[in-house]
Amino acid sequence: MNPAAQLVQGLATLGIDLAPAARDKLLAYAALLYKWNRTYSLTAMREQDKAVSHHLLDSLAVLPFVPAGRLLDVGSGGGMPGIPLAIARPDLSVTLLDSNSKKAAFLQQAAIELTLPNISVHCGRVEQYHPALGFTAITSRAFSELADFVRLSQHLLEQGGRWLAMKGVWPHDEIARLPATFRLDAVHRLQVPGVDGERHLAVISRAEAAKAEDNSGES
């Protein structure tokens, strides 16, 4: 099965309906990723035939859980999940953050070549990033363990926002190490077409924000 057919089939399995132009951009992004990967080491996966399943569909599996507004992708690396999400949701404002200058250069070039005006790129460490506006959601695919992820980025999450942490196996130990100031809202098991390994999405909020929501629901 060629990549285009694999993408169409995978999106149908995920229940995601994208216009042909968006599907073309996703495939163009995958091609660009592997073109730059030869010199910039953007992904550890060398098998380009797995790009659709392990990069595009894996990123888009979290799409139903991404709220409208502003999304920050921490440790974006080669642009996952931020770039596929930005392609699928042009209404979403996506910031890709990575401390590696070569990776940030690729992210900037990808946004230009793919004509993605809803993407911005910041090169730097997340704890040193202080934009004018906070984010509705903060995601990561392989940045760090949960406790470090939420602690280092907590100043960037706006009131009522959520962290969306992509993980492999169910992160029992990492959840147990979450500080008491944060609350695990849910762990969703993701079924990604073409990916045999386990995939989970941990949704986390500030404990005080979650408590306020619970109290308002009781009134």
Tell me if the pTM is above 0.85: yes
Report how far apart the first and last C-alpha atoms of the chain are (Å, whole number): 55
Q: If you compute the radius of gyration of the chain from its CA atoms, what whole number of angstroms results?
A: 17
Burial classification of residue 82, based on how many CB atoms lie within 10 Å of its CB (0-12 exposed, 13-18 middle, 19 or more buried): buried
Angstrom CA distances, 77 to 18, 106, 140, 176, 179, stand at: 24, 9, 10, 27, 26
- Six-digit token pair at 116? 């993605």
Range of the domain at 196: 3-218
Q: If we measure between CA atoms, which residue out of 84, 83, 110 comes closest to residue 96?
A: 83
- Residue-wise pLDDT tens digits, 129-142: 999 999 999 999 97
Q: How high is the pLDDT of residue 16?
A: 97
Q: What is the CATH number of the domain that holds 192?
A: 3.40.50.150
Give the pLDDT band of residue 51 (cuts 50, 70, 90): confident
Cβ atoms of residues 215 and 193 within 8 Å: no
Q: Residue 125 carries which side chain, given as an amino acid letter?
A: R
